[in-house]
Structure 1
């Protein structure tokens, strides 16, 4: 397993839709392991492949955050929301590709998602609470959408300018 470099906004790869995965390979399993390690190291609760510069429809997540909680890592290949509740939830979201920026985003409170597991079998699960928010946030990444796209233009532009400045400062090193 290896830590991957997280792509920072603004980056054109974060605005592109990822390509569906045809089959589970050893490379894909390695990518999933690397992504989980990178997510835990960051630390975060979700990570989509485009965030590590891989344009495949793959995401990892683990919303078991309490200190004494047993990790519940999940790997979702080609995830798709097949049902959303009418009830809505608002969470303050952040993103590993947009560090230190947070904003309230409203999303469906519950979602049902189908995906292919690392065993190649189709799975389906209903998520609620933080898990529902996280899976929707990560699927958005696979569709080229960021949480700041839900914000008013002025706030979105302000965050983008701050990220451009951060990237310039990092480049100067």
Structure 2
């Protein structure tokens, strides 16, 4: 399957909460292949279905050499003191700002066989889990910035050549 183009900030699909996946069929299997192919590109830690134009609850990840996916993920646990952490987003290219994230996160969902998947980790993996589930809830990381940082980021978005 192809590497899918990434939707950019301002696209309505990035602002809408994603629908749960009701049935795992050939279309969902193709979506997972596309998510995995798209996240495998160098420098990518995660890709949520809305970022490739699909409003369904699914994301792929690529952290520390481990590539995978989860369907219908729910962020069930975060722990540790939330703190500003350097972050970027494929849908907001060229920007890097400190988003407020917890150092530990746990997501529960299912795989293509309907079996439970538990993803849990610290550091970059925790950050990716929080970032990707935010996408599925219609949120882009810019909304996790402090008010001052968000003003700077929004100015950068408006001045970018892609917006």
TM-score, shorter chain, exceeding 0.5: yes
In 2, are the aligned partners of 1:58 and 1:75 still within 8 Å (CA)?
yes
By how many angstroms is 1:156 displaced? 3.7
In 1, are the aligned partners of 2:40 and 2:67 still within 8 Å (CA)?
no
Q: Which TM-score applies when normalising by structure 1?
A: 0.85
Cα displacement string for residues 95-140 of structure 1 (whole angstroms, at most 9, x for unaligned residues): 1111110101121111121111122111223221100000100000
By how many angstroms is 1:90 displaced? 3.6
Q: 1:162 to 1:42 in 2, by over 3 A?
A: farther
Distance 2:2 2:71 in 1: 20
Distance 1:8 1:42 in 2: 18
Distance 1:20 1:159 in 2: 33
In 1, are the aligned partners of 2:45 and 2:128 still within 8 Å (CA)?
yes
Distance 2:81 2:28 in 1: 35
Specify the alignment match of 1:25 in structure 2. Answer: 25
Specify the alignment match of 1:129 in structure 2. Answer: 123
Distance 2:107 2:159 in 1: 34
Gaps of 5+ in 2: none
Q: How many residue pairs were aligned?
A: 160
SS in structure 1 of the partner of residue 125 of structure 2 = helix
Deviates more, 1:81-90 or 1:121-130: 81-90
Specify the alignment match of 2:162 in structure 1. Answer: 166
